[in-house]
Amino acid sequence: MAVPLAFFALFFAYPVVAIVGRGLKSGGQWQLGRFGDVVTDPDVAHVLWFTVWQAAASTGLTLLIALPGAYVFARFDFPGKQLLRAVVAVPFVLPTVVVGSAFLALLGRGGLLDDLWGVRLDTSVWAILLAHVFFNYAVVVRTVGGLWGQLDPRQEEAARVLGAGRFAAWRRVTLPALAPAVAAAALMVFLFTFTSFGVVQILGGPTFSTLEVEIYRQTADFLDLPTAAVLTLIQFAAVLGVLALHAWTVRRRESALRLVDASRTARRPHGRGQWALLWGTLLVITVLLLVPLAVLVERSFAGPDGYGTVFYASLRSAATADSTFAVAPLEALWNSLAYGAAATAIALVVGGLAAAALTLPRLRRGRSGRMPLVSRLVRGFDALLMLPLGVSAVTVGFGFLITLDRPPLDLRASWWLVPLAQALVGVPFVVRTMLPVLRAVDGRLREAAAVLGASPWRVWQEVDLPLVRRALLIAAGFAFAVSLGEFGATVFIARPDQPTLPVAVARLLGRAGELNYGQAMALSTILMVVCAGALLLLERARTDHSGEF
């Protein structure tokens, strides 16, 4: 409990409070008058409304499209499942710059849809929603599917035997067990889309703006800290409201479940309905996820004189080029992986400890049904851990700049700044994927093992680990993926010259000329392959020690 608290206090609360405080205080006076000005501004109300609206719509749409996918991945066995599971997670890690250009290629002028049916969706709300589904599909499939695969199907079968109809059995047995995971996934998607930045900027055109975009502009472009501070507080309030709502819906729902090994619950689909569901899901994945990815790959090979590896070759020559602009792909890749490994490590330690602290037995309700104060505090802590997802990256980044700037903690030029910032975003994922599973572990199993004479270590090894390992791997995968694709918090903190893949891509996209564009697409393709590879490795991790990733 102490470690995550200290981490959050130092790397999140302190910087954010400092930058907001600087905005609200000038000349030693609290400038609370700014509140009135900003809050009553009709533009701000409009932006807030659009932010909430598009986040809710994106979340609903993502759940609608992704939940059948979660079921398919949890319950069916089909060839290529592991590979596909890794591939659907790739969009999640792509930097928005890249996704934006892929979507423009599909939905924009002269795009695929334009060629086929004359449909142009760019600068429309649909483009934003579709891109959000594209990004967050994996979040739902992984958080919900991860648990779904471990639910014992025999419980539902038992209900059927006792006379419940198929739907009733699902509604009474499976749905309640899944609810926390669905709620967690919905929460994460909502927070992600609520603070969506790149997608809204690139695909929405200048007419759509979210709070995140406004905060970014006020902070980074105008250095209007007072306005930014008020907007940050509004965003904070909104996020806290969402978190409270979430806590209220999942409370009393998390119960001990019988979890079994996921590999035992999946089987080949049988019957027409199941096959239809499988093929339907595959079709959705193809259209929504694979086509945009394929566009990037296609563009990376479409050289000036027909298809070829011309851009890849020029990337290779960049390795020996005499310029600091050219980044050798291997070097950028290595930077990305190193940052990713460090960020994942930090996120796992902090998030793992936090999740463990949140499932301590003494937090179970007493007989009177009232919660002791300490557990209320812990619940608050749970919400606190989610806050980084709901706070603008620029707020955190600029907060770092003015707080972590004195020895002993002058991290401004330190290599660790980047992984620390990325871990902030990774921790909520770790917590959210670990919690449902940890809470579902039946305490009596542990007690039984202890009674039978197992040492605490052995109890953990035999009871918790097998059940938690999967969640831990999924969490690690998320944290790693977040770090690989992360482009927000780190890109505008002045940092030593060690560009990651997303940064290198953005750099190339920012220059005119076919060569630069093609190289950007080639680097994006490399990034995709690496992500898919990393996720695939995690998928296959079937070791007996969680220490080996």
Partner 1 sequence: MSTTSRIAASAVAAAVGMTALAGCGGSGGGSADAKTVTLVSHDSFNASKSVLAAFEKESGYKVKVLRGGDAGKAVNQAILSKGNPQGDVFFGIDNTLLSRGLDEDLFTPYKAKGLENVPAGLQLDKGRHRVTPLDYGDICVNYDRGYFARHKIAPPKTFDDLVKPRYKGLLVTENSATSSPGLAFQLATIAAYGNDGWQGYWKKLKANGIEVVDGWEQAYNDRFSGSAAGKKKGDKPLVVSYASSPPAEVLGKKPAPAEAPTGVATGTCFRQIEFGGLLKGAKNEKGGKALLDFLLSRTFQEDEPLQMFVNPAREDAKVPELFTKYGAKIDKPATLAPGTITKNREQWIKQWSSLVLK
Identify residues 324-363 at the interface with partner 1 (CB under 8 A).
324-325, 334-335, 337-339, 341-342, 344-346, 348-349, 352-353, 355-357, 359-361
Closest CA to 478 of 391, 524, 539, 547: 539
The dihedral built from the CA positions of residue 324, 330, 331 and 332, taken in this order, carries a sign that is: positive
39: its two tokens: 């809050």
- Cα separation, 455 vs 28, whole angstroms: 58
- Give the x-and-dash track for 211-250 against partner 1 (CB under 8 A): ------x-xxxxxx--------------------------
| Bridge partners, 76 (sequence order) | 267
175 or 374: CB nearest partner 1:
374
Instruction: Tell me which residues in 444-473 interact with partner 1 (CB under 8 A).
Output: 446, 456-457, 460, 464-465, 468, 472
Residue with tokens 């405080």: 21
Instruction: Tell me which residues in 97-126 interact with partner 1 (CB under 8 A).
Output: 97, 100-101, 104, 108-111, 123
Task: Select from 70-78, 135-143, 177-185, 495-503 the region that touches partner 1 (CB under 8 A).
Answer: 495-503
125's enclosing H/E stretch is helix 125-148
Q: Which of 14, 275, 301, 517 touches partner 1 by CB under 8 A?
A: 517
- Give the x-and-dash track for 381-410 against partner 1 (CB under 8 A): -----------------x--xx--xx---x
Instruction: Tell me which residues in 248-307 interact with partner 1 (CB under 8 A).
Output: 302, 304
Q: Which of 416, 442, 536, 539 touches partner 1 by CB under 8 A?
A: 416
- Cα separation, 85 vs 245, whole angstroms: 31
152 or 331: CB nearest partner 1:
331
Closest CA to 431 of 349, 547, 535: 349
Phi, psi of 409 (to 5 degrees): -115, 65
HSE-up of 288 (CA within 13 Å, CB side)? 26
CA distances from 324 to 327, 497, 510 (A): 7, 9, 15
Q: Which of 492, 536, 537, 539 touches partner 1 by CB under 8 A?
A: 492
Task: Select from 51-59, 133-141, 231-239, 320-328 the region that touches partner 1 (CB under 8 A).
Answer: 320-328
Closest CA to 508 of 299, 350, 281: 299
139 or 468: CB nearest partner 1:
468
505: contact with partner 1 by CB under 8 A: no
275 or 334: CB nearest partner 1:
334
Cβ-contact 360, 351 below 8 angstroms: no
CB of 345 to partner 1, least distance (A): 4
HSE-up of 379 (CA within 13 Å, CB side)? 20
510: contact with partner 1 by CB under 8 A: yes
333: its two tokens: 């890749």
CB of 462 to partner 1, least distance (A): 12
Number of residues that bind partner 1 (CB under 8 A): 98
Report the amino acid identity of residue 308: G
Instruction: Tell me which residues in 6-45 interact with partner 1 (CB under 8 A).
Output: none
Instruction: Tell me which residues in 56-95 interact with partner 1 (CB under 8 A).
Output: none
Q: Which of 141, 293, 411, 424 touches partner 1 by CB under 8 A?
A: 411
Q: Which of 207, 306, 373, 542 touches partner 1 by CB under 8 A?
A: 207
323: contact with partner 1 by CB under 8 A: yes
CB of 278 to partner 1, least distance (A): 35
419: contact with partner 1 by CB under 8 A: yes
Instruction: Tell me which residues in 136-155 interact with partner 1 (CB under 8 A).
Output: none
- Cα separation, 535 vs 410, whole angstroms: 34
442: contact with partner 1 by CB under 8 A: no
514: contact with partner 1 by CB under 8 A: yes
- Cα separation, 384 vs 182, whole angstroms: 20
Cβ-contact 26, 226 below 8 angstroms: yes
Cβ-contact 244, 383 below 8 angstroms: yes
518: contact with partner 1 by CB under 8 A: yes
Cβ-contact 190, 59 below 8 angstroms: yes
Cβ-contact 69, 134 below 8 angstroms: no
Torsion of CA 219, 222, 228, 231, to 10 degrees: -110
CB of 21 to partner 1, least distance (A): 13
172 or 217: CB nearest partner 1:
217
Would you mind telling me the total number of residues written for the chain in this entry? Answer: 549
- Cα separation, 499 vs 468, whole angstroms: 35
Cβ-contact 449, 462 below 8 angstroms: yes
Phi, psi of 151 (to 5 degrees): -75, 140
Q: Which of 75, 132, 432, 495 touches partner 1 by CB under 8 A?
A: 495
108 or 388: CB nearest partner 1:
108
542: contact with partner 1 by CB under 8 A: no
Residue with tokens 């954010």: 16
CB of 114 to partner 1, least distance (A): 9
Task: Select from 57-65, 321-329, 371-379, 528-536 the region that touches partner 1 (CB under 8 A).
Answer: 321-329
